[in-house]
Structure formats: C-alpha cells, structure tokens
Amino acid sequence: MTGRDPLGAAARDIREVLLTGDEIAARVRDLAGAITRDYADRSPLCVSVLKGAVYFLTDLTRALGIPVQIDFMAITSYGSARERSGVVRLLKDLDVEITGRHVLLVEDIIDTGLTAGYLLRLLQARSPASLRICTLLDRPYRRILDTLEIAYRGFEIPDRFVVGYGLDYREHYRHLPFIGVLRDDILSGETPPAGLAPAGDARASPA
C-alpha cells in the first residue's frame, strides 16, 4: 500500500501479530461453510454481544449461504480487562423474540466462559428451538465454566491478552485488521495506548 499508513500508531502498540487478516478471513470462510451446511433448511438468528464480536459477526454472516437475521445485546462485565468477575449486567436486550428460533450466539472470545454461560442461561430461558455457540477465539487456560459446549471455534489462542478485529483494550485497537498481543508496558499501564494522549504531550492536541 503506498502513501498510506492504515494501521497508524495503534499497530505499533502490538508486540506480536497472532493472526493476520488473511488468516482470519480464511478461517471465517471455513466456519461459515460449516454453519451453512448445518443450518441448510433453517434460518438462524445470529446474536452477538456489543462490541467485540461485531467485526466477526459481519464478516461471518456475509460469508454464509443461508438467510439469517442478526441482533445484538449489550452487557457490562464487572472487573478489569484481565480479571473478570463473572458478574454481568444486561444493558441492552435483543430486539426480537427468540422463542422457537434457531439461535447462534456469535462471540469474539471465550476466556473464563462466564460471559457466554450467563448469556446462554438468559437465552435458553426463552425457549429457542436450538442454541449454539460460535466463537472466533477460544482461550481455554482460565476457563471456569468448563461445561461450555462450543459448536464452532475459529482459533485456540495462547494465554495472552489480544486486541484487534473487534477486540479492545480500554476501547482501543478494535479497528486493527489483525489480532495481536499488546505490549506489556501498555497492558501494565506504564505507557498509554497510541490513541490516548500522554499528559502534556503537544502532539496529542488535534489541529
């Protein structure tokens, strides 16, 4: 690409690229193929949680060969980015009824499994015809809810905090077209994320 720096400063905060955009795209196509086959005569409702799974959901649904609908929930999880408490509060519910529908919960990453577990209980209580999980990333090392069944899994990743392709650290880095490991000095708070102005830094003020 000439004359452009599409990733900008944010990419310099990444220590290591784990999954390139091309690798993600190829795997999303595989998953879409499997879902298309499994739901051949059905039209599932793909449900995602704002905002991390949005990039994955839009790419996945565009690669499907079956008619689907999409809907969103919004939640807050208590605890820091790295230490989840498992206590979740619903900020926005689905717009549509799911009773009797085939529901596919599309997640960005399953870590402890507590968020997905909470959402599954919430959705199951509304008697969908079926309910399955599709997650782009699975990081099984800190799994607390170990009974979680994952029907579709993009990648198993190492025990590192990752950002990009929808995943954030304090709302930064979602727009990166790859998934990477954040530098330790940023995770520790020693250095602010590229989009955040260090206090008193003149470069930070927009012209």
User: How far from 5 is each of 1, 11, 141, 179, 196, CA to CA, in Å?
Assistant: 8, 10, 35, 17, 18
User: How far from 28 is each of 120, 138, 147, 177, CA to CA, in Å?
Assistant: 22, 14, 25, 13
Catalytic residue among 41, 111, 168, 185, which?
Answer: 111
CA angle 6/11/16 to nearest 5° reads 135
Q: Does 77 bind Mg ion (CB under 5 A)?
A: no
Q: From the CB of 52, what's the least distance to ligand IMP, in Å?
A: 4
| Number of residues in contact with Mg ion under rule CB under 5 A | 1
Q: Does 59 bind ligand IMP (CB under 6 A)?
A: no
Say how far apart CA 64 and CA 34 lie, in whole Å: 9
Binding part of the chain for ligand IMP, among 61-69, 124-132, 160-168, 190-198 by CB under 6 A, reads 160-168
Given Mg ion, ligand IMP, none, residue 161, with its beta carbon under 5 to 8 Å by kind, binds: ligand IMP
Look up 30 and say whether it is catalytic.
Answer: no
Say how far apart CA 38 and CA 139 lie, in whole Å: 25
Among 143, 151, 168, 194, indicate the residue that binds Mg ion (CB under 5 A). Answer: 168
Q: Does 71 bind Mg ion (CB under 5 A)?
A: no
| Number of residues in contact with ligand IMP under rule CB under 6 A | 17
Given ligand IMP, Mg ion, none, residue 31, with its beta carbon under 5 to 8 Å by kind, binds: none
**Cα–Cα nearest to 104, from 130, 65, 143:** 130
In the numeric block, which tokens belong to residue 79? 């605890």
Instruction: Judge whether 10 and 192 are in contact, CB under 8 Å.
Output: no
> Which residues of the chain form contacts with ligand IMP (CB under 6 A)?
52, 84, 107-116, 161-163, 167-168
User: Which residues in this chain contact Mg ion in the complex, by CB under 5 A?
Assistant: 168
